[in-house]
Structure 1
């Protein structure tokens, strides 16, 4: 396993910003090279154009949420009601693909370029722990998490578009490490299926090659996720390559396939529990 370095929140946030800044023009080129927006994408039931519209909505949403100067009428966009986190995100995803009409779909690359620049500009001098109100999350999260979410959405949905368009879209281990490290400590507790986790007590040592390393402790319907936690006894250690774990987390690669390819392995006192992690953490 690669060397895990100490976690410096400010330095890692700047690296994540830089990675996002580099991926935005790649996305713009990808969207401009798409030959057919109506082609099937890497997301079931979504076309390539649907994925591009969703990604544009992600950029608009997070940029608006992160800026005091950008206003958004969330009541007219957000799904009504308060359900579990995974249901709210699924409903928001479904809403997002209808936010742009045909004229806007013809300029998705321009929208991504414009709002990617807005996000990086309005957040440039903000601290990574700056709270950001994200209405579809139902709570404030840090700017560092938002930046990581922007990066992870860009990487994974870029792949969805590329798969549908027959184009190349590499995701580097460095990009995936940054996306995972900035998002998982916040998103895993939110996405926990509390009913499935009721009565469950499992401590996972999640080691992403090269970092981050996360202590994921499920305890009777709750979960805590700590980065570079002090030593403790674990039931199961999961060691994974960063890109593979990112795609497994987004359900783009089946866990069994990552294991068969040698990209993930389980060890520890109860290695068979590794499969439970994906069952307990819900994904829209």
Structure 2
């Protein structure tokens, strides 16, 4: 299964912006087509409307890094700088309430407006422009490339969650999946490492996505590093996968056994049996 070589950060960032621009109207049409916003979604405990509300909050958060539309993070986040999962859980709970009953019919319009706002506010900025993201940590800062990749990821995956709940069609193309993997996962995978499970673990994974990107994922006694287009080294396990299959498995939208049966993912190398540990050590990024 072939993989692409080195990448052009500026060109890939522009492709990610274009993919995000294209997915927003798809989301708007999807939300307008939902027959029942109270129907269960593809996310446990969330309705279809809840997922739409979460998306609106995500768009608002990333836009606010540039527009200052929302700045009162002390009212949303738990006190201190606790574990990432606690922070995200708190934000999600507040987000669903923020876009409640009266706002639910207009979620699509909010996404359309704020998707355009984000693209307009970041037009012409370099991929490494810093973006404050306090929901990941009080002083957390991502690059614009990562933030744009996450906006695309949120849109694609939660669009799938809404579509599954509403029994409507939704696709995630391989090029879109490659952009999410390349732009966001090198930064986010180390952030969502289960450090307790990773204590005393020493494993090097070679993750080869068909058509690119290629990531070296190294777990070393409670820490993780993810390097794109890493120089040659010895790996314990090589995982090869089609881009959409890897994205859906990584975010727990498809069980890994289905991708294996379909020939979309396989493990090799010195210790191929270690492949399932990657998803147990690193939570959904």
Give the TM-score band, short-chain normalised. Answer: over 0.9
1:234-273 alignment runs, 5 A limit: 234-273=235-274
- The aligned counterpart of 1:112 is 111
The residue number in structure 1 matching 2:179 is: 178
Residue correspondence of structure 1 range 114-263 to structure 2 within 5 A? 114-138=113-137, 139-263=140-264
d(CA) in 2 for partners of 1:179 and 1:226?
15
1:91 and 1:248 map into 2 onto residues whose CA distance is 25
TM-score with structure 2 setting the length: 0.96
Q: Distance in 2 between matches of 1:81 and 1:106?
A: 35
Which deviations, in whole Å up to 9, do the C-alpha atoms of 1:250-270 show, x marking residues without a partner? 111112222122111100000
In the TM superposition, what are the counterparts of 1:1-150 in structure 2 within 5 Å? 1-65=1-65, 67-138=66-137, 139-150=140-151
State the TM-score, normalized to the length of structure 1.
0.96
SS state at 1:107 partner: helix
Cα distance between partner residues in 1 of 2:78 and 2:18:
33
Contact 1:59/1:150, CA 8 A, preserved across alignment: yes
Q: Distance in 2 between matches of 1:3 and 1:270?
A: 21
Q: Which runs of 4+ in 1 moved over 4 A?
A: none
Q: Deviations over 1:221-256 (max 9, x none)?
A: 111100000000000000111111111111111122
Deviation at 1:19, TM superposition (A): 0.2
User: Which range moves more in the overlay, 100-109 or 111-120?
Assistant: 100-109
Q: Structure 2, unaligned stretches of length 5 or more? A: none
Cα shift at 1:68: 4.7
Alpha carbons 2:5, 2:229 under 8 Å: kept: no
Shift of 1:88: 2.0
For residues 265 and 114 of structure 1, do their structure 2 counterparts lie closer, same or farther at Cα, with a shift above 3 Å needed? same
CA distance in 1 between counterparts of 2:91 and 2:51 reads: 13
- The alpha carbon displacement at 1:32 in A equals 0.6
SS at match of 1:124: coil
Answer whether contact 1:53 1:100 (CA < 8 A) is retained. yes
Deviations 1:144-198 (A, max 9, x none): 0000000000000000000111110011000000011001110011001111111
Does the aligned pair in 2 maintain the 1:86–1:282 contact within 8 Å? no
| Structure 1: runs of 5 or more not aligned | none
Cα drift, residue 80 of structure 1: 3.1
Cα deviation code 1:54-100 (max 9, x no counterpart): 011111111112x0553421111223343222332233223221111
Does 76-85 or 25-34 show the bigger shift?
76-85
